[in-house]
Structures are given as C-alpha cells and as structure tokens.
Structure 1
C-alpha cells in the first residue's frame, strides 16, 4: 500500500482594514498607511477579538478566557484595562470620545467602526508575537487524518464517506443559495431607519483634534449637505434655539450629544445625528452616528478618512452620502441632490469657519456684528456664493439697499457654486432685491416649496411677499402653513400678525401675538406691531412702553418714525418733526444711512401734505443728497411733486424707470403715483386719474414703504379736482376702512378730510358736516397754524 503524505501550505494572509489602519492577523501586525505600529501581544489579541465581531460587545469574561487560561494567576481587571489603554494609544483613540473602541461600563468593549475584509476567528493554538517582530504561526486547517480508523471506533468505508461528503456539500450549497437569496432581498430592500416625516436634530461636531478650524465649521458644512436632501427632515437651527430658550437655557448653548438628544425629545424628533473628527499625524477620521432620540439606539453609522486637512470636506461628503443611504434615502435621490460640499460652500476651511461665525452672530440677533465675518469669508474665497448672498440679506435687513443689491448680484453671478436649495435661496433673493420682479420671485418661492415641502423659509417669504403686495388674504394661508412647519419661528408670527392687521382681524392679530409671547418669542417686529395694536386701541401706556424698550437700540429709528407718524396723524407737526429728526439721528448713529434718508423723505412728504411746500422741498433735497436709495428717492419725489416741483419729481421718476425696468411695485404703483402727483401740481386731474389706473392692483401694497395706500389717496384728490365727488368718496373710503393696515398713517387722517370734501361736492351736506367734525375732533390738539387745518375749518364754517 502506497503511503500518502499531506502537503501543507501557508494559509492566505487575513488582512482586515478599518479606518486608516490595516491588520494582518496572520503576521500579527498592525499598520497605518503601510507603516507598522509597535503593539504588544495582549493588546493585539484584544484587537483581533474586536475585529472578529465588529459592532458586537466583547465581554470582559470573554477577554479573561481568551487572554488568561483558568490556571493563570493575574490581576485580571488591571490587565484588561492596561491592554485596552495600550491598544487605544496605538490607534490614537480616546475613551471619552471614542472613534474606534467604545467602552460599555461593567460589560465590555465594542468596535464601532466599519471593517473591510473577511474575518474568521483565529484558532486557540495561534501564537502571536507582534511586539518583538516575530511572525505569528496560526494553523488554520485541521490536522491531516492519516487513518480514519484512528479517529473513530467504527470507520466508514471510503464510498460511504464520499457519499456523505457529497450529500453534505449539496445541503450546504442549497443552504448557501437560500441565505444568498434572503440576504439579497434584504440588501436590495433595506429596512429604512427613517421616513420622510421623521425629524432629525443635528448636534455639534466633537472635535478631538487640536485645530479649532473644525469648530462649528464641519456642522455648518454637514447642514448644507443634509438640508439639500428632500428626504431628510433636518430641524432648523432657529427652532432648536427657540427650544433651548423655552427650556430655560441659553439659545447659544453648544449642542453636545446630550443637549441635542434632549432638544430632540422636546421636539418629538426621531433621530439625533452627531459627528466627530479625530487626528493622527496628517490623517483625519470622520464619523457620523444617527441614534434614536427616545432610546439612544444606534440607527446608522458612516465614516471616512482624509489625508491632510484639505481632504476633510471630501471625506465629509462621502460620509454624508453614506449616512443618507443608511437612513433610508433612495440612491436616485442622493445622486440627484449630491452637490459636493466644496461646490455648495467653499474650498476654504478658513472661509467656511468665518462664515459659520457670521451665522452664529446672526443667530444671536447681532446682524451688524456678523458683517466682518462674512467679509472675511469672501476675502478667503472670492467665489463663496452663499457668503455674498447672506451678507446681501444682512444689509437688506438693515435697510442698506444699495449694499444689499451689490452683494446679492455677486451671489447670483456665482450661483453655480451652490447646492440646489442654496441656488433657490440666491435666485429668489436676486429677483426680490436686485431686479425686484416680484412675480418671478413668487414663482421661485413656489418651486422651492414644492422641491423642499418641509422647508419653512419659502413659506415665510411667500407670506411676507404677499403682505408687501397688499394681498394679506393670500399671505395668511402661507404663514399658517409655515407655523405648522415651525411653530417656534418668530418670523412666522411677526408676518402673520401683520397680515391679520391688514385684514382688520384685530382679535386674531392679538391672539397670534399672545401665542408668540407664550412660546417665549420676541423680536423687533413684535414691538412694532404691539405699538400699532396699542395705537388702534388708544392704549398710550403700551405705546410708551414700546418706545422705552427701543431706546438706544439699533432698530430704534423704526419705532421713532412710527411715533412721528402718530404725532402727524393728529396734526401735531412740531412733535412729528422732532421725532423724525430723532429717527434720522438714530439711524445714522448705527450706520444706517439709507434709513436716515428715508426718515428725511417721510418728513418732507408730511410737510407737503400739511401745506408747507418750502420745508417739504428742503427736506426732500437733503434726503436725495444723502444716499441714492430707491425708497428714499420715491418718497422724496412724491414730496417734491406735492409741494409743486413737478419737473424735479418727474426727473427722479424717469431715472428710476431706466435703472429698474423690472421692479414690480416701482413700475406698478410708485412711478405712476409720482407722475400723477406731478400732473396734479400742473392742474391736470384727468391725466393723473389715467396714470393711477395702473396702480389699482397694488392700492394697499406696503413694501416697508413710507407711502402705503398713497395711490388711492392721490386718486381721491384727483377726482375731487375733476369734480366727481362720488368717485372721490370711494377712494378715500379705502384708506378709512383699512384701519389695521394704515393705523397711524397721516394720509389716513387726511382721507377723513377728503371724504368730507367729497360729500360736500356731491351735495350731501349733512354727511359732509359729520366728516368735517370727525377730522377736526381728531385734530383737536393739532398745531394751530397749519395751512391744511385752517382751510378745513374755513370749509366747515361754510357748511354750517
């Protein structure tokens, strides 16, 4: 019988990769980027056990059995702790902020990073000596069986053994096919961790590097990436800050994982997404983890590595795409909405850092203080589209429209360097601020809403847009939908209160304001509307409280101008003049030159309507010489026309028409009003009436302008000149009826006088006398020498 020898060969190396590391279990070596890392035997065996079961707990008892046989006497607790500590040191890991190995107190340890490569448990006879460089010897195959009889008392025949082997192979193959089929089913149909309705709170990144450049920066970049997803429902920062405030904590508090989880639970959110970054030499590791807010269970994990700081944003890109897939977003959606972070924001980490600091300042209500940060971001990356766009909005909010137009135009020119959602933001602001084509603006906001139905921003801005157009009936449903999306957003309530006021629904305006107060919301707009409501209700004490609140604040000029209008409404011109001067000074003190010019122009228009043409022209020209803002220019032009300087007013109108051919409200209402006022100054009432027909759709528009409802007021004056008292009554009644929208506007008070004159013109003398009495009662404390007051008294005397 011929002897048979079993030929042995070295087993294939078992290479495992995780993070930036590679482990050769056969050679007993740990490598990083190809370089071998010195690691003692017991730490290496711990690592091997963790790699065999990634994501699973390796208990301390299992470590005891593996590392120290039962007859070995050792301080086990110290030995395990020391071995894990040395392993973490080799990996550059931390027990407090683990990137690779997580400690489960009193239970054991778990590898929390994804593993590449097939891992099979090493046999008990494996010998590893990774500390002294000796090769490990691991026999991964059973010893050859020379004679079956030596292994069993009743040996099977060769044929029987072969048959058994064949049957076993067949069974195993069938089982493998079933498992493959089942596995394929679940792989192709992954169990979705989230649905489109589940909200996600984004925590701050844990920065375990020594470089502060990553503080806030990575969260800002990740937010841009994830908000662009139509699947993920990321809770807006504003809502999280409001929730912190409601919890009695600082809205600027850092959102650690613990704080974010608490916020998530308060908001009844489904998941919290936290990120971390660690560094070992020039290698950076990023990890994203989504956990269930209620239970703390892990929902999904994704990570990536970067060599050098310049690769961090690309690694974050990869991690974000992976976490989106694992949370349930379809591959087609990810591919469609996957603009690289560097394209959507900036290639400069320093620029992104400056941008995030600017946003943080804005979040604290410090818009003027945010400007240097955005300017720095632009200096670091001159193609940073969103830095231009946000800076343009900051200037718009401050009333500095020339600067707002400049930066918004630059953002639009660079809009290709933005994500889809940010492109919608930039484009909508471009058409609203630069071209002022409000129809096109509304179209983009509607597209934004349909593309991102959970995004509250387009709903708010549509509501605000309809308020500006004088269409509060359209604004209310948009804003109530915005309140559903974000019930703690201050901008929603401010705009909704204004819409209810414009509709004369005072009770709903007050209840909305009370709801905002109950939620702990506040802001400059709330004090403005409280003042207006108090004026309507003749609550002088509340009006004074709002004025006291505004004292020495950057937005004080708004309330001072409102108080000036109140004084003018009752004919107290000297008081109004002083308040307008204070508003102008306050605006200049805080660097708001355009706002200062607007206050001068508003004062000029009051002087003109009160019959003081010399003073009106002086103030109008001073306003025009200050800055070239469109709101100041249109109001000053109206003042010039109403004080008799028709040619100067028309010159301004022609210049504005040439510069802003697409401006909806300018061409639809303000330019026709200026030209109509010029025709009235020339005594051409019919031409004025014809010009004002174009303004009918916008009769009650506001646009943060000093001249709301001036078109119907001028139309009423024109009909009086034309001798049609009935038509004039209808125009003046528009102003009188809209008490909520116009409240304390001087032109509404003068509409009472216009109504009296219209009644007299139609021959309805009793109604005329009552209307004159109403006007004179309103002006009972008016400055006695006002020409318009003297004329009204004379006309009333003739009707007695």
Structure 2
C-alpha cells in the first residue's frame, strides 16, 4: 500500500472543520501491514478476523507500554508520541510482535514503518461527525506526509527515520535496555519526496537478523537525490567497469582483517576542505564522504545536528568551521573516539582526496589515506577508495588512540579545562563525595568565572552536604550569570533557586522542567526526590527509573533513590537490589540505607555488619545507629550513639545538623525512661528551629519548620503544649511555608494532638482523617491511632496499630523533617503493639490481646523494659475488670 491510512467520508457536504489548536512538536509513526488484502483472501474472513483481533490486542498493549496515541487505523496505523524513542520502541516491538503472530499461524507478517518529528496541527471533530464515521482527532501538517513518504518507501520489515528523528532516538537508544545497545543504524543519504521542496536525509534502524538493513528502493513519490555529476550513463558505465576491476583485484589480494576494537564507536567528521577552487562541489563531496564512511562496521558518525548542538554549548557562532581544533573539542565533549578530516586538493594536475584520523586529545594524526584521480569526475571514485580503505583500517587506527569514550558534561563554557574540572566534580558528586566535588567546581569557576553551572555545582554540593546557608552565595553568582545559560540550563537554575528560597514551589519547578525536557536527567531525578519527600513513592519511582539511563552521569544516585522509594513501599527485596547497585557504582551513603532495609526486616545482625563498614565520622549514619538500637531495645547503646551524633553535629555551631540531631537524642532519652530529659531535648529542638526561622534568610526553612513541628508533637505527647503553640504562631506569620506539603500536614497533626490533650479527640479525628491520602506521614497514623483510642473507637485504633506494624520500611525511610523523626517512627511502631494489646483487652478480646503482647515481648523482652513500660505491660497480665 502507498499510504498508512485511508479514510472515506460518506457525507456529501461535510461540516466546516473546527478550529485547529496551535502547532505542536510531536513524533509521528506511520505503519503499513504488508500484503494485508492478499492475507485476507488467503485465510478467509473468519480466520482473518481472528488474526486482526490479535493484532489489535498487540497494538493496544504496545500503545499503552510506549505512551502512544492512536489517531487513525485501517491496514496501517498513525500514532503520535511525545518522544522519538517511544515511537521507535513501539515500532521495534511491533515488528517483533507481528513476526510472533505470524509464526503462531504459519504466516509471514511484516510491516513498513516511517518515523518523523515535526509540528502538527490537531483538532477534534464534533460528536455528530464522529457518529457518522469521522475520526475523533484530526492531525495535519507537513510532518504527516514526510512520515508517510518514509513509510511508503520502506521495504517490508524496515523502519525508516527522518534526519530530525534519528539523532533524538539514537541518543536515547539505551533506554531500550540491552537491545538498544545492539541496534544497527544506517544512513541512506539524501532523498527527494514528492511535494516536499527540500531534500531529506533518510536513516534506517533495526535489529540485526530482523531488519532488512538495505537501501530502500526508489518509488514514484520518493527517490534518491544523486548529484548531477554522478548521473550520466557513461559515467555510470565507467564506474561500473572500474568497480568490477577493483573488485577483481581486491579478491585476488584481499588484505588481512583490521585489528579488532569496540564496534560502533563514534567519530566526528570535520568539514571537508575543498582546495580545488570549485566551491559548487562542497556539499556534494562532503555528503558523499559521510554516506560512504557510515557504511563502516566500526564506527558511527556524529550527526550534523548533534555537532551543532555541541557548538552551541561551546558558545561558538553558528557556521563555525569544524577544523582540527574545533572538531577535536566536539569529540572530547561528546565522547567520540576520533576525528576524521577529509580534504580535496589539486596536486600535480590531479585531484587528490585524502582523510586524516586524528586523536582528539593530542590533535595528532595517527593515520591518513589518500587517492588521486583525473578531473572533478574522479572525485567520487577517489572518495569511495579512501573511505573503503578507512573502513578497513579504522580498527587499527582507532586501536592506537587511547580508549576514552566517556563524554564530558553537555554544559555551556568556552574553557575546556574548566569543563574537565566540572566533569570531575560531577563524578565526585555522583559518589556522594560532596567535599571533593565542591573543590572541583571551585576550580572550574576559577578557570572560567562566567561558568554559571559550575557556580550552581557549588550550590548543589553545599546543599547536599546539608550546608544550605553556604549554598546561597554561589547560587547568587549563578543567577547573575543566568543569561549565559541555554534555556534548559536556565530553568535548571530556577528550580534550584526554588529549592533553597521557595520550597513550596520547588516540586512544581522540577516537574515543569522534567516535562519540557524528558531526556534531562537532573530534572527527572530531582522531581523524583521531591515526590519521595512527600511520600508519593509510586510517582517518584517512575521518574527515578527514567533517570538511571546510561547517559545520566549521576545515574548511581538514582539507584539510591529507587532503593529509598522501594523501602518506603516496604519492598525490601527491591530496595536491597537497588542499594547494591548504587553501592557498586560508588554511592557510599547507600550502605546505611541498606542497613536500614535489613533492620526493617529485623535482620539486626546483618544491619550491624553493614553499619560497621560505615565511617565513624559519617554523621548521618547515626540516624540509623540510634534507630536500630532503639528498635532492638538497646536503650543505653542508643543514647550513647545519640551523644556521639550530637558531638559530631556540634562541629558546625548553629548549623542545621546541630538542630537536626536533637530530636533523635530526645527520643532515645524518652525510650530509656528519662521523660524529663526527653522533654528538655524537645523544647531545645523547638527553640533552635524557631531561632533559625526568625533569621532574615533560612535556606533550610521548610526543614526547620518540619523539625519544629515534629519536636512540638513529641512534646505534646510528653504533656507540654507550649512548644506547639510557639511553632504554630511562628507559622501563622510565615504562611508561605504552609505551602510545603509536609509542613502543612504536620501542622494539622500538631493541632490534632493539641485537641487530644484538651480532651477533644473527635475534633482531632476530623482533622486527621482527610490526611489519609495514601502518601500521609507515618506520624499522622500514630496521632490518628491515639485519637481513636481516646474517643473509645478501639477497633479503628487497632486498625491503625496494625498499619503501623506493617509499614516498617516507611518508618525507617521517610524523609519528613530531613529524617529527624526516624527514631520516633520506629519506637512508635513497636509501641503500637502494646497499645493494640491494651485496646483489645479492654474490648474483651483476650486471645487477640495476648497475641499482640507476645509480639511486643518478642521485640522488646520484658526484662529489658524501662519501668514505665514494665508497668504498662504488667497491667495487661492482671485479670480483666468487668
């Protein structure tokens, strides 16, 4: 078939079209099932209908998997996608799926496919038009016929891409997993499409052994754009004779295979230097050279579009010549293995075509090849000769270049040394070595004071080291250089500014950036972190998984995020696997999170082994050391660990960590039986948080507000209302902080606890129940259990207790107030067993009460209990009163 979709409108006078929406950039995929009419004739109507129903199920499954929108269908499909890689994933799976359907029935099922990215206009047809056969959504624009031409010229089983779609899909191919690393990519040169004024570059992609990987045939609507000097029949015959002779010589004296090296490495082809004075040949010769070189089994040639993108990041003007120096820098930035510089010159009355293979690090020539001919007509043969030799020799040439295919970060700076320092900073940051990363970022700004992203790197390093106050100065310098940034990087800067200065807007900023640039991994990763902080784990998981792309230089951190998310979902096996991956990639902090995963399953010996490997001066490992000690009833050990943490945190006097670790220390004192000391600790925590919030700028404002609220909730349970009253009054004067979801939720919990202490549990319940959204804070459930119990709703209180017992992963992982509440979560989870036993006994459920008490005794043996818990437990052993 010549077109993917054929429609027929039975109405003689169709209604006017509705107004179209503004043009949108979309990926279009058109497919055509080969010989579908013959297939129906061969099978008969009933078997054919069964086959097409199976086909429809396949399409629906792939449409959902790859997030496609089906616009039209008959024997072919027209689909829209947000991203080219999704359209390619659909096409590859569709080709495979058709083959599988055919094998089940003894048939050969194949489709043609064309993929293009361009602007389209869309509009919805009226309900009346749809009822009489019109499509719900219409799509038009030049992008549609281009995709149709690509599809129509494809061979059966072939997927053809436009020059716009190819580099975008190629760059994201590793998102397809292992399969994406083995795809074959071919360039079939320039083509002319009927009705399209400009020639179009056509590419093929497919899986070896499945895709044809052959040049498409000319059709009435698409034909190869061959330069004039290649068209004469005499020249064609002459070339045929030359090729025939050359092949005979080649087979008689075939060279040994080139030394092997990693296939499909990347090379940058510099601009062809035409020294013949015949400028009209420039484009044709350069295109002929690239097309011929792209047939190499060793290399991929970096596309023109990708090279132009890199030039923009180098802050070079459009049209900059890709000479030895410029092309070498592009290769270093994009991780290409070598540079190839072609030249055409007139030497001794003959036309010489030559090419140099260059090491981009040293800009030295490691190999060269040339061929001479008579006159301009000889250049094509010479190009073929040179590129054929290169294709054989590239293995040897590139093996002599030190392998270094890791691309430098794709950011804007003129100074290559500054970029190298920035790259080292990124590597250290990915391994959670924030101090080392900060040093490299500072070196980058010393080399290039206008390097805005290196200033922002300093901000990130300081903020990640929980030193947000020190992050503000480099943030201001980065903001002053905002005009130096590309649009995407400028939005990245804005999102970080919101993180530190407008926390209530931060998630919105990150999600907007992630939506605008789906392949921009920092946006995906940071949006995931913010969603995780709000306990929106399933949403966070999707974004974190996207940002583990091999193209993400910080992918290791995303595996750590996946582990934390899975722990929050109580998926212990998934969490452990993710943390193992993060550790293998150098994320040392994943060790303590892996220990928490084991502790959540009460595998304390394994957790101890992991924490023993953590550095003793790793401050944040003490969250877990304290919590795990309390979890297993080692009261004195937990208080000792809390004291060490306080000593380490006090090194930064007045810093956020010094405030943060006061709360777990107070919880440890309370658990050990010293309620007075615990109350003093909670009051001191509130005072420190309020003092920080009273400063003109508090870069940790949202966390300080959450810390103050959590400490005041703890104080309320210890019988003191005054800290909560102070915190709530402060937040009334800072309403912007109430826009932060965690702060808003904990504010309601604090108010509910105050109502509980005032003897108004039903009012407390009315405040708390709407907070049960599926991503509520652990302490919200604790407060609701307490309110139900105070209101005499024992069954509901027991249900909350059981929920708390089931979600130990959440208790350990939840960020809340920068994880300050971890110890309180763990202790309250264990105490909920004792509370359930008390509630069940008071309701006359003796058997269930004894079961809960047995669970409590298994967690905290009776002989280890402090006096206040021993008394509560003892009351359960007395006969029930009537």
TM-score (norm 1): 0.54
Partners in 2 of 1:201 and 1:594 — Cα distance? 51
> Which of 535, 542, 553 in structure 1 is aligned with 2:599?
535
> Which of 550, 556, 568 in structure 2 is aligned with 1:490?
556
> Which of 313, 334, 350 in structure 2 is aligned with 1:225?
313
Cα pair 1:228 1:419 within 8 Å, conserved: no
Match of 1:550, SS state, is coil
Partners in 2 of 1:200 and 1:396 — Cα distance? 40
The Cα shift of 1:536 comes to 3.7
Q: Are 1:575 and 2:663 an aligned pair?
A: no
> Which of 643, 648, 654 in structure 2 is aligned with 1:586?
648
Q: Are 1:475 and 2:540 an aligned pair?
A: yes
1:552 corresponds in structure 2 to 616
The Cα shift of 1:689 comes to 2.4
The Cα shift of 1:188 comes to 13
1:733 corresponds in structure 2 to 802
What is the CA deviation profile of residues 621-665 of structure 1, one whole-angstrom value per residue up to 9, with x for unaligned ones?
A: 443555635154333222322222212222123324533435423
1:511-522 matched pairs, under 5 angstroms: 511-515=577-581, 520-522=584-586
The Cα shift of 1:531 comes to 0.7
Match of 1:773, SS state, is helix
Partners in 1 of 2:810 and 2:311 — Cα distance? 38
Cα pair 1:669 1:694 within 8 Å, conserved: no
1:767 corresponds in structure 2 to 848
1:261-660 matched pairs, under 5 angstroms: 274=360, 295=394, 359=426, 362=429, 365-371=432-438, 385-404=452-471, 408=475, 411=478, 415-437=482-504, 440-485=505-550, 489-515=555-581, 520-553=584-617, 556-589=618-651, 593-608=655-670, 612-624=674-686, 628=692, 630=704, 631-659=706-734, 660=736
Cα pair 1:513 1:526 within 8 Å, conserved: yes
Match of 2:620, SS state, is helix
1:204-219 matched pairs, under 5 angstroms: none
Cα pair 2:635 2:671 within 8 Å, conserved: no
Match of 1:524, SS state, is coil
- Superposition RMSD in Å: 5.1
Cα pair 2:673 2:866 within 8 Å, conserved: no
Structure possessing the higher radius of gyration over alpha carbons: 1
Partners in 2 of 1:582 and 1:223 — Cα distance? 52
Instruction: From the superposition, tell whether residues 756 and 294 of structure 1 become closer, same or farther in structure 2 (CA, over 3 Å).
Output: farther
1:147-226 matched pairs, under 5 angstroms: 225=313
Partners in 2 of 1:466 and 1:665 — Cα distance? 10
1:154 corresponds in structure 2 to none
Partners in 1 of 2:745 and 2:428 — Cα distance? 37
2:40 corresponds in structure 1 to none
Partners in 1 of 2:460 and 2:290 — Cα distance? 42
1:149 corresponds in structure 2 to none
What is the CA deviation profile of residues 5-62 of structure 1, one whole-angstrom value per residue up to 9, with x for unaligned ones?
A: xxxxxxxxxxxxxxxxxxxxxxxxxxxxxxxxxxxxxxxxxxxxxxxxxxxxxxxxxx
Cα pair 2:626 2:638 within 8 Å, conserved: yes
Instruction: From the superposition, tell whether residues 377 and 785 of structure 1 become closer, same or farther in structure 2 (CA, over 3 Å).
Output: same
The Cα shift of 1:717 comes to 0.6
> Which of 663, 671, 674 in structure 1 is aligned with 2:747?
671
Instruction: From the superposition, tell whether residues 258 and 696 of structure 1 become closer, same or farther in structure 2 (CA, over 3 Å).
Output: closer
Partners in 2 of 1:294 and 1:585 — Cα distance? 64
Instruction: From the superposition, tell whether residues 786 and 373 of structure 1 become closer, same or farther in structure 2 (CA, over 3 Å).
Output: farther
Cα pair 1:570 1:781 within 8 Å, conserved: no
2:835 corresponds in structure 1 to 754
The Cα shift of 1:618 comes to 1.7
Instruction: From the superposition, tell whether residues 675 and 375 of structure 1 become closer, same or farther in structure 2 (CA, over 3 Å).
Output: farther
What is the CA deviation profile of residues 541-592 of structure 1, one whole-angstrom value per residue up to 9, with x for unaligned ones?
A: 3322222211334xx2222221211222234332221111112223344789
What is the CA deviation profile of residues 258-299 of structure 1, one whole-angstrom value per residue up to 9, with x for unaligned ones?
A: 9966799xxxxxx99946799xxxxxxxxxxxx999947999
Cα pair 1:736 1:748 within 8 Å, conserved: yes
Q: Are 1:779 and 2:860 an aligned pair?
A: yes
> Which of 766, 771, 781 in structure 2 is aligned with 1:712?
781
Cα pair 2:751 2:764 within 8 Å, conserved: yes
Partners in 2 of 1:293 and 1:667 — Cα distance? 65
Match of 2:585, SS state, is coil
2:353 corresponds in structure 1 to none
Partners in 2 of 1:697 and 1:382 — Cα distance? 47
Partners in 2 of 1:664 and 1:297 — Cα distance? 59
The Cα shift of 1:522 comes to 3.2
The Cα shift of 1:753 comes to 2.1
Cα pair 2:833 2:853 within 8 Å, conserved: yes
> Which of 759, 762, 765 in structure 2 is aligned with 1:683?
759
The Cα shift of 1:710 comes to 0.6
Match of 1:557, SS state, is coil
Partners in 2 of 1:736 and 1:618 — Cα distance? 29
Partners in 2 of 1:763 and 1:486 — Cα distance? 61
What is the CA deviation profile of residues 760-783 of structure 1, one whole-angstrom value per residue up to 9, with x for unaligned ones?
A: 344433212321232133111664
Instruction: From the superposition, tell whether residues 514 and 624 of structure 1 become closer, same or farther in structure 2 (CA, over 3 Å).
Output: closer
2:15 corresponds in structure 1 to none
1:321 corresponds in structure 2 to none
- Greater shift, 756-765 or 481-490, is seen at 481-490
Match of 2:737, SS state, is coil
Cα pair 1:647 1:678 within 8 Å, conserved: no
1:86 corresponds in structure 2 to none
Partners in 1 of 2:316 and 2:728 — Cα distance? 42
Partners in 1 of 2:393 and 2:763 — Cα distance? 70
Cα pair 2:639 2:668 within 8 Å, conserved: no
Partners in 2 of 1:509 and 1:397 — Cα distance? 22
Cα pair 2:424 2:437 within 8 Å, conserved: yes
TM-score (norm 2): 0.49
1:723 corresponds in structure 2 to 792
Instruction: From the superposition, tell whether residues 404 and 419 of structure 1 become closer, same or farther in structure 2 (CA, over 3 Å).
Output: same
Partners in 1 of 2:528 and 2:392 — Cα distance? 33
1:788 corresponds in structure 2 to 869
Cα pair 1:601 1:636 within 8 Å, conserved: yes
Cα pair 1:672 1:694 within 8 Å, conserved: no
